């Protein structure tokens, strides 16, 4: 597709602040076509950006203005299901949820469940190493994908990973998953399927104090219980969600914890009892156990709709994706509120409490001059705070274009050079998704130079180059 | 301890820089308990043992950070004091085994199909690449997608990409209760029963078949284990823990047989594959241990239709008789090796033949 009207829908992904019209959009429908595109692009040194559903939040699929936007939308078939080995072979354009729907009649499902799972594709999940609310117990994409067929730059097709455990050589699957489309284009994927747990129960606890909620999370885990989901929301997020979907959340709580336990009936019953008494011991004001499936769904509806709910109370919002060691939660939340006050912006926090993945949502109005810039600056400061307490700038959304400068905070020169050397093994000319995920050393030199104030480096305790 | 470890790392960096200059191969070792694995590599011994100690352990975060030369037994007892464990149940193959060697070899124990492999629990590493640079990848958090997942790539790389100096691992609570059930039955129905566990919500944590007996371990809460024991039937085996530990460490009588030992990795299936010699089926059908004089080529012939892989597991020269990556994938493997170790000095030839 070459006309402006046809190219327009591809100008951005879920991070709509970054836009570019692709040079051309290509929609291959078979492996040979993907190989031909990759061969031609290599021959003429044309950049290639692969795209799934475009739901990513870091600009990983933002097009290159002089490049090919390779949409994998037509690769949308589930090729086979092996009910004995509990695996499925699928094309990359298959939606995440469609896999679970297709195998539901066999009592199986695909575990990683990013919040965009109705729309996002498994190919995009592989590129981003997508997580979800259940990953503390069931793992990320990297734990649930066994093998993949990959087209390399230049058009060569390889199979990486294996359905047999421990294939010879290096774990190329590990390198590929989360590589943000910089190493190759995935054309088939083998996923691991799990049995649907017979029982799932949810409970909701309200706290008058965020620190108490954080200590309750630690207490549950110290007791040897690994919940299927463990989510926290702060007051602004609670109120926004309650106004939107009436999930039954207490509006006056400083924090709520949602905890889901799954397994056999006997197991879940014992754990529900232990968890509720732990929650009370940690100072919970109230603990509600969902009486039935519809109440469980209602508890989750507030959390699952937290982003659109925040979207209703503010013209725009910007979602941050840092991970922190959980022990630093109090410090980080306090830090965020101080930074937000200084920037004159409001922040609502939702938190995958079990695994430390924090999503502060910065509320802003893109209509007001300068407000988006201030929002971006606040987001960057929050991510740097996450790194300072021993965390990371991205838990599950990827670096993309959005966090490329923060990579200079998290990694030193030698690590970045090592990343570039790894990339060059697969794509020596740097044609796959250029300018994303790993910054050039000169970009970092500029970024760090810009952030030197009064002759002092920010965060002097961090190693620098 | 921390200063000692820092200076030990600095000394290793210096050693690697010098070796890179001189083109001198280094044979990187921890406890030297798994030297029988892999291919023979040329190199001067270079020990990581001095880089030891638990750096940071917060049980409620489910994360431990430990220096590579720390003994596996020491780490496991530290975790046990807080009721936790390394979820992948790593084989040690000797008292001296270190956590660095354990991750570098990437071996996992009987629970692997149900809880995951060594690589699944690696969250971050510090390592020295072939240029002598000390690098840090990943971190101490469970979700982290900043940069390529180099930490996980190190698991099973046998020290050929970098010398591990520090590793952060996800840990899990030890199950409250464990029970082993045994079933006397022929191979075919045993194999079908084992593979069925993959699709059933049962707290199975190990399944193996040896000499006409199927061994199944159940682990979890008391309630979950007793319910599952009722569903499965079979006989309660009092010596279950000893069996799994001896299987993990290759101390069962099966392993003392004279013929060479082969590890065969397979996609789990209902069929039993018959190999010449003696066979122990592990990992619910995904891993066969075969004691056989038949030789690599003959076994290969049998495995090929099933898409499996063979690893010589008895001694160094047998290690050379293992499957290696093919063609384009081998080229990428060699490319990665060169990207991390341009002079080709870290355990040269240990994982696949040099160019």
Give residue-wise pLDDT tens across range A89-125: 999 999 999 999 999 999 999 999 998 899 999 999 9
Mean pLDDT of A207-235: 93
Q: Which of A140, A172, A218 sits opposite B143 (nearest CB)?
A: A140
Residues of B whose CB is below 8 A from A392: 139, 141, 143-146
Q: How many CB atoms lie within 10 A of CB A277?
A: 13
A199-308 and A310-450 share one fold: yes
- CATH fold, domain A1-196, is 3.30.465
Q: Which of B79, B124, B143 to mutate to test the interface with A (most CBs of A within 10 A)?
A: B143
* pLDDT recorded at residue A456: 45
Distance from C-alpha of B41 to C-alpha of A337, rounded to nearest angstrom: 56
Tell me which residue of A323, A320, A464, A450 sits closest to A380, measured CA to CA.
Answer: A320
For the stretch B328-352, pLDDT in tens is: 999 999 999 999 999 999 999 999 8
Tokens representing B107 are: 């071996």
Please check whether residue A227 touches B, CB under 8 A.
Answer: no
For the stretch B154-197, pLDDT in tens is: 999 999 999 999 999 999 999 999 999 999 999 999 999 999 99
Work out the widest C-alpha separation in chain A, in whole angstroms: 66
Secondary structure of B172-229 as H, E, C letters: EECCCEEEEEEEECCHHHHHHHHHHHHHCCCCEEEEEEECCEEEEEEEECHHHHHHHH
Distance from C-alpha of B339 to C-alpha of B345, rounded to nearest angstrom: 12
CB contact under 8 A, A224 and B83: yes
- Give the nearest chain A residue to B152 (CA atoms): A174
Distance from C-alpha of B288 to C-alpha of B207, rounded to nearest angstrom: 12
* pLDDT recorded at residue A449: 73
Please check whether residue A105 touches B, CB under 8 A.
Answer: no
* pLDDT of A453 strictly over 80: no
Q: Which of A160, A179, A355 sits opposite B143 (nearest CB)?
A: A355
Rounded to 5°, angle at Cα A352 from A348 and A355: 140
Mean pLDDT of B240-245: 98
Q: How far is B221 from chain A (nearest CA, A)?
A: 6
Residues of B whose CB is below 8 A from A213: none
Calculate the CA dihedral of residues A271, A274, A276, A281 and round it to 10 degrees: -160
Distance from C-alpha of A392 to C-alpha of A383, rounded to nearest angstrom: 7
For the stretch A2-57, pLDDT in tens is: 899 999 999 999 988 889 999 999 999 999 999 999 999 999 999 999 999 999 99
Tell me which residue of A267, A258, A46, A408 sits closest to B147, measured CA to CA.
Answer: A408
For the stretch A149-177, pLDDT in tens is: 999 999 999 999 999 998 999 999 999 99
- Give the nearest chain A residue to B322 (CA atoms): A168
Please check whether residue A211 touches B, CB under 8 A.
Answer: no
* A155 and A36 Cβ atoms separated by less than 8 Å: yes
Core vs surface per residue A200-223: b (16+ CB within 10 A) or e: bbbbbbbbeebbbbbbbbbbbbbe
Residue B24 exposure: Cα atoms within 13 Å on the Cβ side: 12
Residue whose entry in the numeric block shows the structure tokens 């006989």: B235
CB contact under 8 A, A355 and B283: no
* pLDDT recorded at residue A460: 45
Average pLDDT of chain B, as a whole number:
95
CB contact under 8 A, A172 and B117: no
Q: Which of B106, B149, B172 sits opposite A175 (nearest CB)?
A: B149
DSSP, res A437: S
Tokens representing B127 are: 């390592």
A residues 311..340 contacting B (CB < 8 A): 323-327
Helix (H) or strand (E) holding A287: strand A286-289
Distance from C-alpha of B336 to C-alpha of B344, rounded to nearest angstrom: 11
Q: What's this model's pTM, rounded to 2 decimal places? A: 0.95
* Strands A255-263, A229-234: pairing kind: antiparallel
- Give the nearest chain A residue to B312 (CA atoms): A168
* pLDDT of A452 strictly over 70: no
Tokens representing A361 are: 């949502």
Distance from C-alpha of B115 to C-alpha of B144, rounded to nearest angstrom: 20
Distance from C-alpha of A185 to C-alpha of A55, rounded to nearest angstrom: 18
CB contact under 8 A, A266 and B223: yes
Q: How far is A323 from chain B (nearest CA, A)?
A: 7
Q: Is A448 exposed, middle or buried (0-12, 13-18, 19+ CB in 10 A)?
A: middle
> Which of the given ranges, A24-38, A345-359, B307-321, B322-336, has the highest pLDDT on average?
A24-38
Q: Which of A84, A178, A226 sits opposite B173 (nearest CB)?
A: A226
A326/B13: higher pLDDT:
B13
Q: Which CATH architecture fits A310-450?
A: 2-Layer Sandwich (3.30)
CB contact under 8 A, A175 and B195: no
How does residue A457 score in pLDDT terms, banded at 50, 70 and 90?
very low
* pLDDT recorded at residue B316: 66
Residues of B whose CB is below 8 A from A404: none
* pLDDT of B322 strictly over 90: no
Secondary structure of A158-222 as H, E, C letters: EEEECCCCCCCCCCHHHHHCCCCCCCCEEEEEEEECEECCCEEEEEEEEECCHHHHHHHHHHHHH
Residues of A whose CB is below 8 A from B270: 84
Q: Report DSSP letters for A59-72, one per residue.
A: STTPPPTTSEEEE-
Distance from C-alpha of B105 to C-alpha of B99, rounded to nearest angstrom: 10
Tokens representing A243 are: 């106004």
Tell me which residue of A279, A139, A151 sits closest to A219, measured CA to CA.
Answer: A279
For the stretch A247-284, pLDDT in tens is: 999 999 999 999 999 998 888 999 999 999 999 999 99
* A257 and A216 Cβ atoms separated by less than 8 Å: yes
* pLDDT of B145 strictly over 60: yes
* Strands A199-207, A286-289: pairing kind: antiparallel
Interface size between A and B, measured as CB pairs under 8 A:
261
Rounded to 5°, angle at Cα B173 from B141 and A130: 35
For the stretch B63-118, pLDDT in tens is: 999 999 999 999 999 999 999 999 999 999 999 999 999 999 999 999 999 999 99
Chain-centroid distance, C-alpha A129: 7
Tell me which residue of A388, A307, A384 sits closest to A348, measured CA to CA.
Answer: A307
Core vs surface per residue A291-322: b (16+ CB within 10 A) or e: eeeebbebbbbbbbbbbebbbeebebbbbbbb
Residues of A whose CB is below 8 A from B268: 84-85
B41/A335: higher pLDDT:
A335
Q: Which of A84, A104, A387 to mutate to test the interface with B (most CBs of B within 10 A)?
A: A84
Q: How many CB atoms lie within 10 A of CB B197?
A: 23
A residues 434..463 contacting B (CB < 8 A): 437-438
Least confident of A340-354, A364-378, B158-172, B310-324: B310-324
* B338 and B161 Cβ atoms separated by less than 8 Å: no
For chain A, give every domain's residue range. 1-196, 199-308, 310-450
Tokens representing A253 are: 């709580």
CB contact under 8 A, B149 and A438: no
* A60 and A436 Cβ atoms separated by less than 8 Å: yes
CB contact under 8 A, B120 and A355: no
Distance from C-alpha of B185 to C-alpha of B180, rounded to nearest angstrom: 16
What domains, with CATH codes, occur in chain B? 2-173+333-340 (3.30.465.10), 177-318 (no CATH)
Secondary structure of A240-266 as H, E, C letters: HHHHHHCCCCCCCCCEEEEEEEEECHH
A residues 256..315 contacting B (CB < 8 A): 263-264, 266-267, 269-271
CB contact under 8 A, B309 and A162: yes
Q: Which of B224, B283, B309 sits opposite A267 (nearest CB)?
A: B224
Secondary structure of B2-15 as H, E, C letters: HHHHHHHHHHHHHH
Q: Which of B39, B80, B103, B148 to mutate to test the interface with A (most CBs of A within 10 A)?
A: B148
Calculate the CA dihedral of residues B46, B47, B48, B49 and round it to 10 degrees: -170
Decide which of 3.40.640.10, 1.10.760.10, 3.30.70.2190, 3.40.50.720 is the CATH code for A199-308: 3.30.70.2190
Distance from C-alpha of B158 to C-alpha of B103, rounded to nearest angstrom: 8
Distance from C-alpha of A171 to C-alpha of A174, rounded to nearest angstrom: 6
- Give the nearest chain A residue to B127 (CA atoms): A415
Distance from C-alpha of B199 to C-alpha of B268, rounded to nearest angstrom: 12
* B48 and B28 Cβ atoms separated by less than 8 Å: yes
* pLDDT recorded at residue B1: 55
Distance from C-alpha of A140 to C-alpha of A149, rounded to nearest angstrom: 19
Q: What are the strands, taking DSSP E only, across chain B?
A: 26-29, 44-47, 54-58, 63-67, 84-85, 122-128, 134-138, 163-170, 172-173, 177-184, 204-210, 213-220, 235-237, 261-265, 278-282, 287-291, 309-312
Residue whose entry in the numeric block shows the structure tokens 């649907």: A196
* pLDDT of A465 strictly over 60: no
Mean pLDDT of A192-198: 96
Q: Which of A169, A182, A380, A393 to mutate to test the interface with B (most CBs of B within 10 A)?
A: A169
Tell me which residue of B315, B221, B207 sits closest to B259, measured CA to CA.
Answer: B315
Distance from C-alpha of A136 to C-alpha of A274, rounded to nearest angstrom: 19
* pLDDT recorded at residue B321: 81
- Give the nearest chain B residue to A179 (CA atoms): B148
Q: Is B271 exposed, middle or buried (0-12, 13-18, 19+ CB in 10 A)?
A: middle
A residues 350..409 contacting B (CB < 8 A): 352, 355-357, 390-399, 403, 407
Q: Which of A267, A397, A421 sits opposite B223 (nearest CB)?
A: A267
Residue B139 to residues A34, A333, A395, A436, B145, Cα–Cα distance (Å) = 36, 21, 11, 21, 10
Q: How many CB atoms lie within 10 A of CB A87?
A: 23
Residues of B whose CB is below 8 A from A219: 60
Least confident of A96-110, A381-395, B123-137, B320-334: B320-334
Residues of B whose CB is below 8 A from A357: 141-143
Residue whose entry in the numeric block shows the structure tokens 């149900």: B114
CB contact under 8 A, B339 and A357: no
Work out the widest C-alpha separation in chain B, in whole angstroms: 65
Mean pLDDT of B204-210: 98
Mean pLDDT of A291-320: 92
Phi/psi at A145 (5° precision): -115, 130
């Amino acid at each position: 597709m070459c006309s402006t009207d046809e190219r327009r829908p591809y100008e951005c992904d879920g991070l709509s602040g970054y836009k570019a019209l692709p040079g051309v959009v290509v929609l291959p429908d078979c492996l040979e076509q993907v190989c031909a595109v990759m061969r031609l692009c290599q021959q003429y040194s044309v950049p290639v950006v692969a795209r799934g559903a475009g739901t990513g939040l870091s600009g990983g699929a933002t097009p290159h203005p002089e490049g090919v936007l390779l949409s994998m939308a037509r690769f949308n078939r589930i090729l086979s299901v092996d009910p004995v080995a509990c695996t499925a072979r699928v094309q990359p354009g298959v939606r995440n949820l469609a896999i679970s729907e297709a195998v539901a009649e066999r009592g199986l499902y695909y575990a990683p469940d990013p919040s965009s799972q109705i729309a996002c594709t498994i190919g995009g999940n592989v590129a981003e190493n997508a997580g979800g609310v259940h990953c503390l117990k069931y793992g990320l994409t990297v734990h649930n994908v066994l093998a993949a067929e990959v087209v390399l730059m230049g058009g060569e097709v390889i199979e990486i990973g294996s359905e047999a455990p421990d294939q010879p050589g290096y774990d190329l699957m590990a390198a590929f998953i989360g590589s943000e489309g910089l190493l190759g284009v995935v054309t088939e994927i083998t996923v691991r399927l799990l049995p649907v747990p017979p029982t799932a129960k949810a409970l909701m606890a309200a706290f008058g104090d965020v620190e108490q909620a954080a200590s309750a999370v630690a207490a549950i885990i110290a007791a040897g219980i690994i919940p299927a989901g463990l989510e926290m929301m702060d007051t602004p997020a609670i109120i926004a969600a309650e106004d939107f979907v009436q999930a039954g959340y207490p509006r006056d709580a400083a924090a709520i914890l949602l905890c889901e336990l799954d397994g056999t009936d006997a197991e879940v019953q014992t754990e529900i009892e232990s968890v509720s008494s732990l929650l009370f011991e940690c100072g919970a004001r109230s603990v509600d156990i969902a009486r039935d499936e519809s109440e469980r769904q209602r508890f989750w509806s507030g959390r699952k709709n937290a982003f659109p709910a925040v979207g209703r109370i503010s013209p725009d919002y910007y979602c941050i994706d840092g991970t922190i060691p959980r022990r630093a939660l109090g410090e980080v939340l306090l830090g965020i509120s101080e930074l937000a006050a200084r920037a004159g912006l409001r922040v609502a926090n939702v938190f995958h409490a079990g695994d430390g993945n924090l999503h502060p949502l910065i509320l802003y109005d893109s209509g007001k001059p300068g407000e988006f810039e201030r929002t971006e600056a606040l987001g960057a400061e929050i991510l740097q705070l996450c790194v300072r307490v021993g965390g990371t700038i991205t838990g599950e959304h990827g670096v993309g274009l959005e966090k490329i400068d923060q990579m200079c905070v998290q990694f030193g020169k030698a690590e970045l050079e090592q990343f570039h050397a790894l990339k060059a093994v697969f794509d020596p000319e740097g044609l796959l998704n250029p300018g994303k995920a790993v910054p050039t050393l000169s970009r970092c030199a500029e970024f760090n130079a810009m952030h030197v104030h009064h002759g002092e480096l920010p965060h002097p305790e961090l190693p620098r180059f | 301890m921390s200063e000692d470890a820092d200076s030990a790392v600095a000394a290793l960096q210096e050693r690697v820089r010098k070796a890179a200059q001189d083109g001198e191969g280094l044979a990187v070792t921890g406890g030297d308990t798994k030297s029988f694995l892999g291919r023979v590599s040329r190199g001067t011994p270079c020990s990581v043992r001095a880089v030891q100690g638990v750096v940071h352990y917060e049980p409620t975060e489910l994360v431990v950070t430990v220096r590579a030369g720390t003994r596996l037994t020491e780490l496991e007892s530290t975790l046990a004091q807080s009721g936790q464990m390394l979820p992948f149940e790593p084989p040690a193959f000797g008292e001296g085994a270190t956590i660095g060697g354990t991750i570098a070899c990437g071996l996992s124990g009987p629970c692997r199909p149900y809880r995951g492999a060594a690589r699944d629990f690696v969250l971050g590493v510090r390592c020295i690449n072939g240029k002598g640079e000390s690098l840090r990848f990943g971190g101490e958090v469970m979700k982290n997608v900043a940069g390529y997942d180099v930490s996980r790539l190190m698991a099973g790389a046998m020290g050929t990409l970098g010398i591990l100096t520090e590793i952060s691992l996800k840990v899990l609570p030890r199950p409250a209760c464990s029970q082993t059930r045994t079933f006397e039955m022929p191979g075919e129905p045993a194999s079908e029963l084992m593979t069925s566990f993959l699709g059933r919500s049962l707290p199975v944590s190990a399944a193996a078949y040896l000499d006409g007996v199927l061994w199944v371990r159940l682990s979890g809460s008391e309630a979950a284990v007793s319910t599952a024991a009722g569903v499965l039937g079979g006989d309660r085996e009092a010596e279950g823990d000893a069996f799994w530990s001896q299987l993990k460490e290759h101390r069962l009588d099966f392993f003392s047989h004279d013929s060479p030992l082969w590890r065969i990795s397979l996609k789990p299936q209902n069929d039993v594959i018959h190999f010449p010699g003696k066979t122990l089926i592990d990992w619910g059908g995904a891993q066969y241990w075969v004691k056989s004089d038949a030789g690599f080529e003959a076994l290969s012939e049998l495995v090929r239709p099933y898409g499996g892989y063979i690893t010589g597991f008895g001694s160094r020269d047998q290690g050379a008789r293992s499957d290696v990556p093919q063609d384009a994938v081998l080229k990428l493997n060699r490319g990665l090796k060169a990207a991390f170790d341009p002079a080709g000095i870290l355990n040269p030839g240990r994982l696949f033949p040099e160019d």
